[in-house]
């Protein structure tokens, strides 16, 4: 079994926050692949389903972002899932809006959800970094991530979540680089990247 974790904050007031794009992407996977309904477990909600030959547990921690690691640790311990089997979907201010990068381990770049997970289970889990853009100054980041996406953002947010869901089977199969490239091509085909921009999505 693999554990797919969406990061975000629970509660209706946070639903459209930039910080919650991890929740959005994982929920898109649930819808796209006919997973079970959400069920309260592991200090959050979970859903189960299959991606190809792999059984997947989706988890949205209900502990608020800063304590995400508690829910992740509980689920991972219960199912004896090791770090390479944990995939975390997170907002990333260091990437332009609509861009996506995969990485394993590395720094947490001030992301409190990642810091909490690393503190509870270790650092070498896989991350799906979903670009939300940077507000331009460090002191503006907190307000930026906790504010809602604008109406102008709606199209690319929905397209990115759809591309993630459509290609999620590649993550389950361990084909992270191919997944990243497929999402890039899907977003480019829908016109969200300028022609010639970012021709090497592996960097």
Query: Cα separations (Å) of 31 from 27, 28, 71, 159, 161?
Result: 6, 5, 22, 14, 11
Three-class SS of residue 110?
Answer: coil
Structure tokens at 129: 């970094």
Active-site residue, selected from the candidate residues 19, 33, 111, 144: 19
Q: Which of 67, 23, 69, 64 is nearest to 46 (CA)?
A: 23
CA–CA dist 61, 7 (Å, integer):
7
Span between the terminal Cα atoms of the chain, in Å: 29
134 is catalytic: no
CA–CA dist 176, 172 (Å, integer):
9
CB contact burial 65-92 (16+ within 10 A = b; e otherwise): bebbbbbbbbbbeeeebeeebbbbbbbb
Cite the active site residues.
Answer: 19
């Amino acid at each position: 079994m693999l554990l797919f974790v969406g990061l975000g904050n629970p509660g209706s007031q946070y639903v459209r926050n930039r910080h919650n794009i991890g929740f959005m992407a994982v929920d898109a996977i649930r819808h796209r692949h006919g997973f079970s309904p959400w069920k309260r477990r592991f200090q959050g909600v979970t859903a189960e389903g299959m991606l190809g030959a792999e059984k997947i547990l989706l988890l949205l921690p209900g502990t608020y972002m800063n304590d995400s690691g508690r829910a992740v640790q509980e689920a991972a311990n219960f199912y004896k899932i090791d770090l390479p089997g944990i995939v975390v979907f997170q907002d990333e201010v260091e990437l332009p809006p609509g861009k996506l990068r995969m990485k394993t381990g590395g720094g947490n770049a001030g992301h409190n959800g990642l810091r909490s997970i690393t503190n509870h289970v270790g650092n070498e889990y896989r991350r799906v970094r979903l670009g939300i853009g940077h507000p331009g100054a460090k002191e503006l980041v907190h307000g930026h991530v906790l504010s809602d996406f604008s109406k102008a953002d709606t199209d690319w947010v929905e397209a990115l979540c759809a591309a993630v869901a459509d290609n999620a089977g590649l993550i389950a199969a361990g084909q992270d680089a191919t997944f990243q490239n497929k999402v890039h091509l899907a977003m480019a085909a829908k016109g969200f990247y300028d022609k010639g921009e970012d021709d090497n999505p592996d960097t």
